[in-house]
Amino acid sequence: MSESNFVDYIKVFCRSGRGGKGSAHLRREKFVPKGGPDGGDGGRGGHIILRGNSQLWTLLHLRYQKHIFAGHAEDGMKANKTGANGEDVVVEVPLGTVVRHAETNELLFEITRHDEEHIMVPGGRGGLGNTHFKSATNQTPRYAQPGEPAVEGFYTLELKILADVGLVGFPNAGKSTLLSVISAAKPKIADYPFTTLVPNLGIVRYRDARSFVMADIPGIIEGAHEGKGLGLRFLRHIERNSILLFMIPVDSKSIAEEYAVLLNELKEYNPELLDKKRVLAVSKSDLADDELIREMKSELPEIPWVFISSQQGTNMQKLKDILWRELNAPVDD
């Protein structure tokens, strides 16, 4: 997916439909001069509804749809006829979409399942017709309820990518290269920092036609939780990954220190990220000999780890075995 086509944040102005007015009609026919009240209820104003769609990966289709308006309802009519409801507007969004009220930043809901629906902006209720107000002491009420007004305001839609495995590492750790080798994804690869400017997703095929989804998150730098580098914009995507695959190149000054820095950035951004399962892949292992690799093993953190080389294809299957095992391991209480 090209950088220009990946949109993970949208602000839109929405207005639901207003409710129809109730009717205050009194029945008058040739042979029924005093038929009493027969005013119908007003219809419901149109809702603005969000629906999850597993085939969407971005909010790109909403980039130029800055205003979303639902239909207004019709008023109630004589003969106790209810006015027609306003037309609902259904907006499809990718799974992992978080919706907030723009002015208060209040979290309204999250969409995580295909075809899951939520009313983002409710339509106004229709007013009651005068039939509802007749009584023994007021047999011909000449009034009815007005419909509720439309609801309008600004809303933000924020995408957090849903993936089984999220790649975490500094720029140039080899994340994009791994994704291109282990899946059919074709991310941009080059030898300079921040080659990856948008998250990339790839489906990793496993034994017996099984598979899992891997996400390449743009590189983290020290201070990312404060917004440095690509910072906060992409750290949120890590929140939805089941497993965090830390990637640190074998030629790093200290694997333990880099791992600690990465872990601290996640902790400062959201301490709950530390509860996720972690795996370490020491990349570019073709640059080190066997003796150096043996020495490095003593400083590795106490999580599942593997030395890999995406260029040489070293330990690709072993890495997939570890990830699959961790994905399917029971979660500790």
Mean pLDDT of 226-240: 58
This prediction's pTM = 0.70
Neighbours of 37 (CB within 10 A): 24
Mean pLDDT of 174-186: 80
Q: Are 67 and 13 in contact (CB under 8 A)?
A: yes
Shared domain for 204 and 287, answered yes or no, is: yes
Shared domain for 173 and 58, answered yes or no, is: no
Shared domain for 188 and 293, answered yes or no, is: yes
Shared domain for 135 and 178, answered yes or no, is: no
CA distance 162 to 237: 8
Please report which confidence band the pLDDT of residue 195 belongs to, taking 50, 70 and 90 as the band edges: very low
Residue 193 has pLDDT above 60, yes or no: no
CA distance 309 to 317: 11
Which two three-digit tokens encode residue 96?
Answer: 């992992």
Q: Is 8 contained in some domain?
A: yes
Shared domain for 98 and 182, answered yes or no, is: no
Shared domain for 137 and 66, answered yes or no, is: yes
Total domain count, the chain: 2
CATH number of 126's domain: 2.70.210.12
Residue 226 has pLDDT above 50, yes or no: no
Q: Is 324 contained in some domain?
A: yes
Shared domain for 34 and 137, answered yes or no, is: yes
Q: Give the residue with greater pLDDT, 132 vs 5.
A: 132
Shared domain for 171 and 155, answered yes or no, is: no
Domain with 99, as residue range(s), is 3-159
Note the pLDDT of residue 143.
94
Quick: pLDDT tens for 142-172: 999 999 999 999 999 988 877 889 888 887 7
Range 203-233 burial, b when 16+ CB lie within 10 A, else e: ebeeeeeeebbbbbbbbbbeebbeeebbbee
Shared domain for 189 and 115, answered yes or no, is: no
* Boundary residue ending a domain (159, 181, 211): 159
Question: In the chain, which ranges are continuous DSSP H helix?
Answer: 175-182, 231-235, 255-269, 290-296, 316-328
Neighbours of 52 (CB within 10 A): 20
Q: Give the residue with greater pLDDT, 35 vs 41.
A: 41
